[in-house]
Amino acid sequence: MIKKLLIANRGEIALRIHRACKEMGIATVAVHSTADSEAMHVRLADESVCIGPPAAAKSYLNIPAIVTACEITGADAVHPGYGFLSENANFAEILAAHKITFVGPSTEHIREMGDKIAAKQAMIAAGVPVVPGSPGAVSDADAAGIAASIGYPVLCKAAAGGGGRGMKVATDPGALAEALATARGEARSAFGDDAMYLEKYLGHPRHIEIQIMADAHGNVVHLGERDCSLQRRHQKILEESPSPALDDAARREIGRIVTKAMQKIGYLGAGTIEFLYEKGAFYFIEMNTRIQVEHPVTEMVTGIDLVREQIRVACGLPLSFRQEDVVLRGHAIECRINAEHPRTFIPSPGTIRNFHVPGGLGVRIDSAAYAGYRIPPYYDSMIGKLIVHGRDRHECLMRLGRALDEFVIDGVETTLDLHRALLEEPDFINGNYDIHWLETRLANS
């Protein structure tokens, strides 16, 4: 069993992991940069270690410093959270070499799913439907012929990385060369790898993802879906579960396909399989081999602590539930509250003067912020997440509106007003939106 766990992350997810550990009787170690010395996870952890200056490359991505922190404190496990080193296979291998448990999947699956081409090929072999596209990386010389066989519009997409970088749409043959060159440049700059592949660009899809958990005893369970279609520049703004677009039959079928695929590849731990969904059909786009930012909406509708299950699985224990135990109850929505201007999305680092969070039945706040906290300019701009739950989507929306009205964050710009405005939109209220809806609305408002 894990006795002391080092949290290799910061912000709300670090605090989330700390809370799960405390409820399991596991001691925690917080690591932090000099910019995060007053962070809430540092204050609450049993021990803390400074691992470097503000720049993430010299602190939260500094593998030798994190391993040293484990050795100094006697931590026998590491939870990477999301982002930073959470999908870094080399990090997991180095921890294993030092006999430190990595709370995550095997290095083989981290590498395979981190390469979008390899992931797509693995999913095809496992019987998962995929977006029509090139079988592998494409050269500039072959791109035109492959695009013509797929049919325009096509998406030029980086084989490595994610977060919407290295992706450009070519609407016709005349636009392909420029789109490919631009996407290659972005991918090279962001990931150090300009390998590209092509896939069919879907006009009005929804972004649906399936949460799974798997243990070392052959058990694989899915926990329903999350609808993450409200996006800007491929970045998620709001997520909900269940999706307004799926019925029970579609939910059961995609769940069956995904769990069968994960059993076939021998996956271990938490994972999220992401799809585009259009006209009743699912198309695999990628798999994330970590906990997701939006995991709380799944927890709210299932009552299952996903971080606790991650830790149990890392200890070699079986899942604490079976597929028949997973019942979706009610509806949950998560709003990502960022320190950004609600229209321009320009980051707004600074000091929070007043911080008052909503409460009441069915309201959850995942945040490490507090009054007087200084949001540093070096990292992601997320202040926290507002998650609400109701007996149905209507009650959930009404509760969300009430909670947003109670939320007070002074001293920095935030996206609270954007979320309040969404609740005035008939299309959102009716669940009638796709991945392009928010950007279209912002462009026309």
Candidate list 16, 206, 290, 364, residue with the active-site label: 290
* DSSP letter string, 236-301: EEEEEES-TT--HHHHHHHHHHHHHHHHHHT--EEEEEEEEEETTEEEEEEEE-S--TTHHHHHHH
Task: Check if the beta carbon of residue 69 is closer than 8 Å to that of residue 85.
Answer: no
Q: Which residues contact 73 (CB under 8 A, 6 or more apart)?
A: 4, 6, 29, 47, 49
**φ, ψ for residue 147 (rounded to 5)?**
-60, -40
Q: What ranges make up the beta strands (E) of 315-438?
A: 331-338, 350-351, 354-356, 363-367, 374-375, 382-390, 408-410
- The two tokens of residue 308 are 């606790």
Strands 374-375 and 363-367: unpaired
Torsion of CA 40, 44, 48, 52, to 10 degrees: -10
Amino acid identity at 323: Q
Task: Check if the beta carbon of residue 334 is closer than 8 Å to that of residue 238.
Answer: yes
Task: Tell me the C-alpha distance between 324 and 335, whole Å.
Answer: 29
Amino acid identity at 319: L
Strands 350-351 and 269-278: unpaired
Q: Is 290 annotated in the active site?
A: yes
Enumerate the active-site residues.
290
